[in-house]
Amino acid sequence: MEIEEAREVRTTCPYCGVGCGVLAKVAADGQVSVRGDPDHPANFGRLCSKGSALAETIDLDGRLLHPEIHDRRAGWDEALDLVASTFSQTIAEHGPDAIAFYVSGQLLTEDYYVANKLMKGFVGSANIDTNSRLCMASSVAGHRRAFGSDTVPGTYDDLEFADLIVLVGSNLAWCHPVLYQRIAAAREKRPEMKVVLVDPRRTMTADIADMHLAIAPDGDVALFTGLLAYLGQHNALDRAYITTHTTGFGQALFAASALDLVGVAAATGLSEDELGRFYSLFAATSKTVTVYSQGVNQSSSGTDKVNAIINCHLATGRIGKPGAGPFSVTGQPNAMGGREVGGMANMLAAHMEIENPDHRDRVQRFWNAPAVAGKPGLKAVEMFKAVADGHIKALWIMATNPVDSMPDADAVEAAIKACPFVVVSDVLARTDTVRHAHVRLPAAAWGEKDGTVTNSERRVSRQRAFLRVPGDALPDWRIVAEVGKRMGFGEAFSYASPAEVFAEHAALSGFENDGARDFDIGAYAGVDGEGYEALEPFQWPEGGAQAGGWPEGVGTTGLQARFFANGNFFTPDRKARFIAIRPTTEIRTSPDYPLILNTGRIRDHWHTMTRTGKSPRLSQHIAEPFVEIHPADAQRFGIGDADIARVSSPRGDVLVRALVTARQRQGSLFAPMHWTDQFSAKGRLDTLTAPLTDPISGQPALKHVAVRIEKFAAKAFGFAVARQRPEPNTAPYWAVAKCKGGWRVELAFADDDIDWAGFAGSLFGTSLGAEISAYHDRDAGQHRIAAFDDDQLSGALFVAPSPVAVSRGWAAEQLSADHVDRRSRLAIVAGRPGGIDVDRGAIVCSCFGVGANQIAEAVRRGCGSVAAIGAALNAGTNCGSCRAEIRVIIDAQSLQAAE
């Protein structure tokens, strides 16, 4: 494809499930800039901090540019022949279930479609599962149980129409920031709108919440079964809706009534008063949307949680109406697209069911396939167990990093290492998973490939290429199709473009559909290259309309097609099913592992940092792995703020920085899942998590892990900046992060009897001619060493017996400064800014580099609102992702002033 320069290309953000439209521009000098697409209906021009920094993540540093076989460069033909012949031979010798694909919500729909078609239709196994299993499989299972289909009925507009939004296990402020901003803006316009946050932690999302319910881990089933019982007891049911459009209400209400309010309070850790206030608000507010994501899904009772929520909406008839409904929001950019093509081991393409012989027959005829898989395949956790026990002998991992992201990650890594044949398609040459591949296939990255993604509100948008594909990289759909051809299925995989793949996917969705299946984009079955290029974002269903009617479950509200508006669902009797759920609680802690670890995301990083880790701007917000601990627990376990803590489970341990905060629930810890062996010594959080899954969805319980915490007895702490990427492998604790002009490193040591000058030299990779300035006070354990090449700082190391107090932002800036005079060199060795420079503190606003100290100072000078801080410092005026944190600083300062 010919790429025009200096033209803005309409594409879509590759991070979260909000699916924001992005305008990307390549200037004549090759510089790329991005901005929010004002015409995209997901974001109307907004982007969060991650989206705004996309241009910083597209360099070719670390890219895998050529196929590799056993660590040597190979040509495409050799690599593809080897992959195809090994898979074919494995199938011939051991059967189709001896191979597996582990794919990703990062793939585009076209990639996903071709991979699923090859596995389920031509290999004849359903052993294809996706990292979306870790993200939203419980929502899929809950939807299918209640609606008879995996239908997300909500739209983003509903969040603006609602009078009450209940956010369950959803830290929107950090994980779906543009949705958070849409809700915040709607609330400003309609202050009567209420928001309730249900989360064990007081996350930044609490900033817009009228009520925060700090629920016990996995207390959600009890909370929502209790709500159903309350609705029944307080005459708040929609009896007509229940009778006409649902089945199973009596059993569901009976099961939900197992606990009285006192029992619900005990199971949720909430007071009866809190429960009463939430329940009465819900009962009184007909326009209610309940938003849920990983806090609900990543649980051994995730599917029951989803159905407990849906039960309350069915009981009140609050579904299929503007501003009302259950609303699952996905973590990944194309988790929904993966569901549409059947990229999960227990689904067939186009939302058809693998267990249904009619559906299998239909797909087989449509694909003209030799044999469609006859039974569900292995879900992610089962798949890696089958790799470990030798049942799976050939594995292809596409666009994901299971060595870091799967639960019981060390066992998964051992399984991959022991697997006889591992293929990894990725954009990077070095990840914790890529290093174990026998064959590495270079994939095209965001900005280099064309395709579609579907966001959380069922909106299909184009990703468009605006960069030339580097090296030998190819889009994933083409790599898979080439393997399919070489396995002898040439006719079925002879696509010339992603437009052809998309047209086939659309045609399958409409094939013998006649309104019986929810997923229908048959209107695009005839799309050609030109139409595909011009494709505007659209929401499905779009297919039935052309045939003279919507799918069975779709009605209209005003001009908008809306699922379930007519009260019809996709079950055989067209009625929604209540699911009888008994509230349960599970104690996983023990005297040896007395705390519950909750895992999740932070604002400015994404998954295993393979993309966001390249951005200095994003890396300055939080630059090392951490664990949040409540002050009472910190005291109990002897942990001080900024100590290094060892968190252990029966499967392993991690070393992370302790953050003592009352925002954390007592008895629970929180730690982010982003750090890998590429960025830290021992920060791979999923070494702790268990392969425990929800029995229905197979989704791992990543938010409830029994652990213990202890202080790592550090004798020395260090902080360093360096121009070259440092490899501080001799330190037991280290975490590296990109900064402008180089890298920054946090360090801790069990011993202080170290040759610090030698350590600094190895850290900086200093040349023989480097000029060294140093200060040593051995009695006080203070060492500061700086190395200069000409007028440039090549590295500075600061060592102290307690966490190093040097300003990180200032130290990092010295890498880009000229150091011609002695005074500026001495300032570095002194470890503090000279002259009038002030320490900005931890960076809060990534867009303008504004730190916490600057914001606090502005508050002390009279800025009492986020708008005033914006006017004074610009902070929060671009992407807005930091506004919640600014408000927290304002509140803290105001409280301090009042005391």
Binding site for ligand SF4 (CB under 6 A): 13, 15-16, 18-20, 43, 47-48, 50-51, 176-178
- How far, in Å, CA of 661 to CA of 641, rounded? 9
Judge whether 429 and 63 are in contact, CB under 8 Å: yes
Greatest CA span in the chain, whole angstroms?
85
SS3 757: helix
Question: Which residue lies nearer to ligand SF4 by CB, 278 or 606?
Answer: 606
- How far, in Å, CA of 634 to CA of 636, rounded? 5
State residue 289 phi and psi, 5-degree precision. Answer: -115, 130
What are 355's two structure tokens? 């267990």
CB of 455 to ligand SF4, least distance (A): 8
Question: Which residue lies nearer to ligand SF4 by CB, 43 or 687?
Answer: 43
Question: Which residue lies nearer to ligand SF4 by CB, 176 or 674?
Answer: 176
Question: Which residue lies nearer to ligand SF4 by CB, 12 or 301?
Answer: 12
- How far, in Å, CA of 297 to CA of 305, rounded? 8
CB of 333 to ligand SF4, least distance (A): 7
Question: Which residue lies nearer to ligand SF4 by CB, 187 or 776?
Answer: 187
Question: Which residue lies nearer to ligand SF4 by CB, 174 or 569?
Answer: 174
CB of 456 to ligand SF4, least distance (A): 10
CB of 36 to ligand SF4, least distance (A): 7
- How far, in Å, CA of 57 to CA of 611, rounded? 6
What does each C-alpha distance from 169 to 537, 597, 876 come to in angstroms?
28, 14, 25
CB of 446 to ligand SF4, least distance (A): 11
Judge whether 655 and 645 are in contact, CB under 8 Å: yes
User: What is the separation of C-alpha 306 from the centre of its chain, rounded to a whole number of angstroms?
Assistant: 19
- What sign does the CA torsion over 750, 752, 754, 755 have? positive
- How far, in Å, CA of 873 to CA of 867, rounded? 10
Judge whether 158 and 387 are in contact, CB under 8 Å: no
CB of 11 to ligand SF4, least distance (A): 11
Question: Which residue lies nearer to ligand SF4 by CB, 456 or 807?
Answer: 456
Residue nearest to ligand SF4 (CB): 51
Judge whether 109 and 401 are in contact, CB under 8 Å: no
Helix (H), strand (E), coil (C) string for 883-895:
HHHHHHHHHHHHH
Question: Which residue lies nearer to ligand SF4 by CB, 43 or 316?
Answer: 43
Residue 95: HSE in the Cβ half-sphere, 13 Å Cα cutoff: 7
Number of CB atoms found within 10 A of residue 250's CB? 11
CB of 62 to ligand SF4, least distance (A): 21
Judge whether 673 and 762 are in contact, CB under 8 Å: no
What are 191's two structure tokens? 């202050």
Question: Which residue lies nearer to ligand SF4 by CB, 159 or 629?
Answer: 159
Question: Which residue lies nearer to ligand SF4 by CB, 19 or 728?
Answer: 19
Question: Which residue lies nearer to ligand SF4 by CB, 611 or 708?
Answer: 611
Question: Which residue lies nearer to ligand SF4 by CB, 15 or 101?
Answer: 15
Q: What is the dihedral of CA 678, 684, 687, 690, to 10 degrees?
A: -130
CB of 458 to ligand SF4, least distance (A): 15
Taking CB atoms within 8 Å and a gap of at least 24, the contacts of 477-480 are 477/108, 477/110, 477/111, 477/113, 477/114, 477/115, 477/451, 477/501, 479/80, 479/425, 479/441, 479/443, 480/111, 480/114, 480/115, 480/118, 480/398
What are 580's two structure tokens? 């009888």
- Beta strand 288-292 pairing with 246-247: unpaired
Question: Which residue lies nearer to ligand SF4 by CB, 141 or 618?
Answer: 618
First CA to last CA across the chain, in angstroms?
Answer: 64
State residue 716 phi and psi, 5-degree precision. Answer: -145, 145
Number of CB atoms found within 10 A of residue 794's CB? 21
Number of CB atoms found within 10 A of residue 770's CB? 16
CB of 54 to ligand SF4, least distance (A): 8
Is the bond preceding 541 in cis, omega lying within 30 degrees of 0?
yes
Q: What is the DSSP string of 227-280?
A: HHHHHHHTT---HHHHHHHEE-HHHHHHHHTTS-HHHHHHHHT--HHHHHHHHH
CB of 612 to ligand SF4, least distance (A): 10
Question: Which residue lies nearer to ligand SF4 by CB, 43 or 615?
Answer: 43
Question: Which residue lies nearer to ligand SF4 by CB, 50 or 351?
Answer: 50
CB of 177 to ligand SF4, least distance (A): 5
- How far, in Å, CA of 469 to CA of 82, rounded? 24
CB of 338 to ligand SF4, least distance (A): 16
CB of 847 to ligand SF4, least distance (A): 12
CB of 859 to ligand SF4, least distance (A): 27
- Beta strand 72-73 pairing with 99-103: unpaired
What are 430's two structure tokens? 């070095």
CB of 8 to ligand SF4, least distance (A): 16
